[in-house]
């Protein structure tokens, strides 16, 4: 299984590059992911989405409905795609350290 080094922590990744243990997430890790996703700089809007996802995940152990994410952060789906080119699930959730969603998604 692939791993990556952030500071002095070794983090395990799954085949799609999502972190295996969400507890190991750090802001540093988000920045490393951002680079690999082709995001040059994490702006306040990026952090707003990431932090919302993390808070929601902490409370419910699941990613929020995309529509809810848009509504609560005030970002349209189009804008989220601009922020995270791989989209809300494969981009934003990955940076926020959420596991990859399963099922028909």
Partner 1 sequence: MPEYKGMKQAVRASEEDLRKIHMIPVPDDQKADEALKYLDEMRKKFRSFVTAMESCVKCGLCAENCHTYLGTRDPNNIPAGRADLVRKIYRRYFTPEGRWFGKLVGAEDISLDVIEEWYTYFYQCNECRRCAVVCPFGLDTCEVTMVMRQILHWLGMVPKLHAHVGHAMELTGNHTGLPKPGLVDTLEFLSEEIKDEFGVDVPFPVDKPDSDILYIPSSADFLLNPYTLMGAAMFFHYIGANWTIPSTMAEAGNFGLLFDQQATQRGNVMRLLDAAEKLGVKKIVWGECGHGWRAAKMYIPTLADRPVRWPITHLHDETSYYVQTGQLKLDPGKNNRPVTLHDPCNYGRACGLAENLRITLNACVPDFREMTLNREKNFCCGGGSAILFDDPEMYQLRIKFSQKKADQVRETGVGNNGDGVLCAPCSICKAQLYPMVEEHKLGVEVKGLIDLLGRALVWN
Strand partners of residue 3: 12
Query: Cα separation of 103 and 82, whole Å?
Result: 25
75 binds partner 1 (CB under 8 A): no
> Which residues in the 34-73 window bind partner 1 by CB under 8 A?
59-68, 71
| Helix, strand, or coil (residue 8) | coil
> Would residue 104 show up in a list of annotated catalytic residues for this protein?
yes
- Closest approach of partner 1 to the CB of residue 105, in Å: 5
The residue within the footprint of partner 1, chosen from 3, 8, 16, 58 (CB under 8 A), is 16
Q: Are 75 and 53 in contact (CB under 8 A)?
A: no
Total site size for partner 1, rule CB under 8 A: 22
How far are the Cα atoms of 22, 34, 53 from residue 94, in angstroms, in the given order? 10, 9, 10
Positions marked catalytic: 104
Binding site for partner 1 (CB under 8 A): 1, 14-16, 59-68, 71, 89-90, 101-105
């Amino acid at each position: 299984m692939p791993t990556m080094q952030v500071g002095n922590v070794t983090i395990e990744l799954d085949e799609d590059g999502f972190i295996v243990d969400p507890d190991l997430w750090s802001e540093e890790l988000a920045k490393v992911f951002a680079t690999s996703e082709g995001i040059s700089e994490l702006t306040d809007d990026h952090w707003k989405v990431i932090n919302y996802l993390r808070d929601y995940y902490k409370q419910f152990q699941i990613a929020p409905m995309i529509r809810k994410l848009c509504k609560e952060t005030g970002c349209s789906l189009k804008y989220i795609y601009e922020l995270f080119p791989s989209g809300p699930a494969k981009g934003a959730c990955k940076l926020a350290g959420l596991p990859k969603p399963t099922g028909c998604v």
